[in-house]
Amino acid sequence: VQLQASGGGLVQIGGSLRLSCAASGPIDSDYILAWFRQAPGKEREFVSAIRLGGSRILYADSVKGRFTITRDIAQRTVYLQMFSLKPQDTAVYYCAARPRWLVGGIPSPSNYDHWGQGTQVTVSS
């Protein structure tokens, strides 16, 4: 499984940005695609996750109401639409994948088998 993240950039406070994560290789509709982020000097933290076939979505409290995760199953791509961006959203954003939904385990980076390269998001005034 390969994951290709894109869409990062520099945005002003309150602005919007959309990240994309394109998956390739042997994945099916049960696969979970997730976004994590890591700011300098901090641990990698969970942002959001979605089941590629639909019906399961999870958000971190810190982004709930501001970020929206969607998926295009035909393109095997997951999008993270980010609104009302804050300086504390500045981080390298990574997409990750695992084969099945794991109750209680989705936010933990150690539960993911595959990772894409990061894409930098910088929120500045």
Is 64:73 a contact under the CB 8 Å cutoff?
Answer: no
Rounded to 5°, the CA angle 32-38-39 comes to 160
pLDDT on residue 42: 97
Distance, in Å, from the CA atom of 9 to the CA atom of 122, rounded to the nearest integer, reads 6
pLDDT in tens, 16-37: 999 999 999 999 999 999 999 9
Who contacts 60 (Cβ-Cβ below 8 Å, separation ≥6)? 45, 46, 47, 48, 107
Query: Which residues of the chain register pLDDT less than 50?
Result: none
pLDDT on residue 125: 81
Q: How far is CA 117 from the centre of its chain?
A: 12
pLDDT on residue 119: 97
Cβ burial, residue 107 (10 Å; 0-12/13-18/19+): middle
Distances from the Cα of 3 to the Cα of 21, 93, 125, angstroms: 6, 13, 31
